[in-house]
Amino acid sequence: MGAADRAAELRRLIADWDHAYYVLDEPRVPDAEYDRHLRELQDLEAEHPDLATPDSPTQRVGGAPLDAFEEVRHVTPMLSLANAFSEEEASEFDRRAREGLEVESVTYAAEPKLDGVAISLSYRDGELVRAATRGDGTRGENVTANVRTIAAVPLRLRGAGWPAELEVRGEIYMPLAGFEAFNEKARAAGERTLVNPRNAAAGSLRQLDPKMTAARPLAFFAYSTTTRQGLPSSQSGALATLKEWGFPVNPEVTTVEGLEGLLAYYAALGEKRAGLAYDIDGVVYKVDDFEAQDTLGFVSRAPRWALAHKFPAQEEITTLLAIDVQVGRTGALTPVARLEPVFVGGVTVTNATLHNEDEIRRKDVRPGDQVIVRRAGDVIPEVVRALTDRRTEELAPFVMPETCPVCGSAVERIEDEAVARCTGGLVCAAQVKQHIQHFASRKALDIEGLGEKLVDQLVETGLVSTVADLFHLEAEQLAGLERMGEKSAANLVAAITAARRPELGRLLFALGIREVGEVTANNLARHFRSLEALEAASLEDLEAVPDVGPIMAAHVRAFFDEPHNLDVIAALRAAGLDYVVPEVVEGPKPLAGETWVLTGTLSMPRIKAKNYLETLGAKVSGSVSGKSSAVLAGENAGSKLAKAEKLGVRVLDEEAFIALLQEHGLV
């Protein structure tokens, strides 16, 4: 098959998959398969630029940045909808419609009111030629380059019967999952977060660089056309046809009879609202029959045949009374806003999350401020921002406490990480249950019978407040607990006694030092061979251990710098816990007899590279000679490298070295 035919085939396949995914809601292929085809098409078009077409899915990545958006005139103005906030207003609307149409009952199309940005899409001969924002209703902005990047917007129409000129209107929105994921990432990177999905959609559409828009998770639902050519004679019929032509139509759209039908739809969608994948701020009622719509006509800038019946707001203003700090199961400190109670998103909210210290600083939220609170769907309520212009007096900014509000241990904050953590994992009541379970788990001290429910009881009854207390438990105390017979109590005490002499590596893993997994715990044990030596290790010493980087080293140091943790270790010792250090079992020494030389700048500390080589049996020497087996050359290697080359000694760069370590299972 020639390149042109293959490109056409790929375009058709990908358009079919997009259609199945966005319009039919039936994903057809795994992401990897989709990506492979898209990449093949990108490669083909890069090789043969004349094969690229405006409707190619490769256009979704976004073209060149613009200087400004062109102004666009809407031939048919983009109007707004009259709003209703109560059943009475909805009932009034129905009464006027019945009277205007001189009928007993009206059939309505009922649709969600999507909370995004209105868009006009123009198709000529089936191809998307222009996308424009609403603007003031008569003049909007040409955002075609951006809208092309949105996969839910068809670049070419499907099916048959569409007119040569077609203008479709609908809503661009940001699905909640995409919104949350985007903000999670931004928060972790210390970047600005998006305020809410509607602002996010609007802001994303107004990026001058389409590649920025392409990176935002936007979607689209169609809800009307400006002409009726080729369409059935009702709103519901027209939407069904739009779907055949390739437009995503909201699945909640339906027809209902009379006021009763409207109110039932409103109530049903209100129930569903929290579980929907996107924000809606109400429902829209439209007289279904087009002729009936024409009879009713317009009043000022809104149709008489349609009404937006709004839901309670998802954002409200209230006072931030205080900022408390909560400690989670893993020791993460989360600032929580205590609010003047406010009714938002259908419930009364008194607490909301503020995420982390950086976010509070970025939003400049201070106790005493008037703040916007948002509660959408099932998402935890959050403080969106402070209304700083309403501040009437000087307010003190929030500062994260330096010690844990639960246990008083030091709070650790790793550079470049947004989260602050309590380092007193062994003693902190907020973390201790999880710690005890981890301490007893199979790869740690392997104490059989110490399950979650039992740990809860032990902590809640005050029998155990740190792992050291486990070793003082007596069978009689245990036998009094729920679902604990004499026999199982005796078994548990025996299991705890048997766990008194773990290997050092298991003990280190059991201590639950942040990020220290089984492998690292064993590497630390092998390197330091005693708890005392590890306790005394500097950051530099720690970084010399295979698999330990600067962040892990900092966690280990913070753990042993916390006096509460040292107290627990002392208590463990006093309770009779001792560890064993296994004899060094010589592993295979694939580099035995070799002499290596290190030169240049490596990305890992030199001592670490040396340790790796020695683990594999090599000797490490400072100078190159004819007897050298190999030279590991980092960046800017100088005379040693030159000498090695002259003498014909094997030279490896760091990448090759890491491959060697991988081959031998060291990294």
* Interface with ligand IVH (CB under 6 A): 79-81, 111, 113-114, 118, 171, 223-224, 284, 303, 306, 308
Q: In terms of CB distance, is 310 or 564 closer to ligand IVH?
A: 310
Instruction: Tokens 């899915």: give the residue.
Output: 57
State the nearest-atom distance from the C-beta of 113 to ligand IVH, in Å: 4
Close Cβ partners of 145 (under 8 Å, ≥ 6 residues apart): 62, 63, 66, 210
Q: Work out whether the CA dihedral 2, 5, 10, 13 comes out positive or negative.
A: negative
Establish whether 640 is a catalytic residue: no
Tell me the angle at which helices 258-272 and 87-101 cross, rounded to the nearest 10 degrees: 140
Smallest separation, CB 201 to ligand IVH (Å): 11
Give Cα 311 to chain centroid, integer Å.
27
H/E element, 80: none
Q: How far apart are CA 310 and CA 81, in angstroms?
A: 11
Nearer to ligand IVH, 8 or 82 (CB): 82
Residue 197 Cβ, how far from ligand IVH at the closest point, in Å? Answer: 13
C-alpha 217/C-alpha 182 separation (Å) is 8
Minimum Å gap between C-beta 333 and ligand IVH is: 40
AA identity, residue 218: L
The CA–CA distances, whole Å, from 137 to 55, 79, 342, 399, 408 equal 28, 6, 34, 46, 59
List phi, psi (to 5°) of 466: -140, 170
C-beta neighbour count of 556 within 10 angstroms: 26
Q: Which is nearer to ligand IVH, 113 or 514 (CB)?
A: 113
| Strands of the 595-599 sheet, one edge to the other | 619-621, 595-599, 630-633, 650-652
The residues near 337 (Cβ < 8 Å, ≥ 6 apart) are 320, 322, 323, 351, 352, 353, 354, 365, 371, 373, 383
Nearer Cβ to ligand IVH (273/506): 273
Least Å distance, CB 242 to ligand IVH, is: 12
Token look-up 């559409």 returns 205
CB of 136: closest distance to ligand IVH in angstroms?
12
Smallest distance from ligand IVH to CB 109, Å = 9
Minimum separation from the CB atom of position 117 to ligand IVH (A): 7
H/E segment holding residue 64: none
Q: What's the min distance (Å) between Cβ of 366 and ligand IVH? A: 35
Pick the closer one to ligand IVH by CB: 284 or 365.
284
Least distance to ligand IVH, CB of residue 171, Å? 5
Of the two residues 138 and 461, which places its CB atom closer to ligand IVH in the complex? 138
Alpha helix stretches (DSSP H) within 274-343: 290-296
> Residue written as tokens 């199945």?
20
Task: Report DSSP state, residue 195.
Answer: S
Q: Which residue is nearest to ligand IVH (CB)?
A: 118
Reading phi first (left if > 0) and then psi (alpha if -120 to 50, else beta), residue 576 is in left
Catalytic residue among 113, 243, 363, 640: 113
Q: Give me the count of residues in the chain.
A: 667
CB of 87 to ligand IVH, least distance (A): 20
For residue 88, the surrounding DSSP H or E stretch is helix 87-101
Long-range CB contacts (within 8 A, 24+) of 655-660: 657/609, 657/632
Nearer to ligand IVH, 94 or 171 (CB): 171
Long-range residue pairs from 83-89, CB within 8 A, at least 24 positions apart, any chain: 83/282, 83/307, 83/308, 83/309, 83/310, 84/307, 84/308, 84/309, 84/310, 85/309, 85/310, 87/263, 89/307, 89/309
Comparison of 302 and 400: residue with beta carbon closer to ligand IVH = 302
Distance CA 173, CA 219 (A): 5
Residue from 536, 665, 658, 533 nearest 608 by CA: 658
Q: Which residue, chain included where needed, has tokens 């958006």?
A: 69
Based on CB atoms, which residue is closest to ligand IVH, 81 or 287? Answer: 81
Q: Which is nearer to ligand IVH, 92 or 127 (CB)?
A: 92
Instruction: State in angstroms the smallest separation of the CB of 118 from ligand IVH.
Output: 3
Rounded CA gap, 606 and 459, in Å? Answer: 46
The residue among 269 and 556 lying less far from ligand IVH, judged by its C-beta, is 269
Select 221 or 509, whichever has its Cβ closest to ligand IVH: 221
The residues, ordered by sequence, that sit 6+ positions from 330 with a Cβ below 8 Å of its Cβ are 421, 431, 434
Residue type, 51: L
| Amino acid (one-letter) located at 237 | G
Distance CA 204, CA 101 (A): 42
- Active site residue ranges: 113
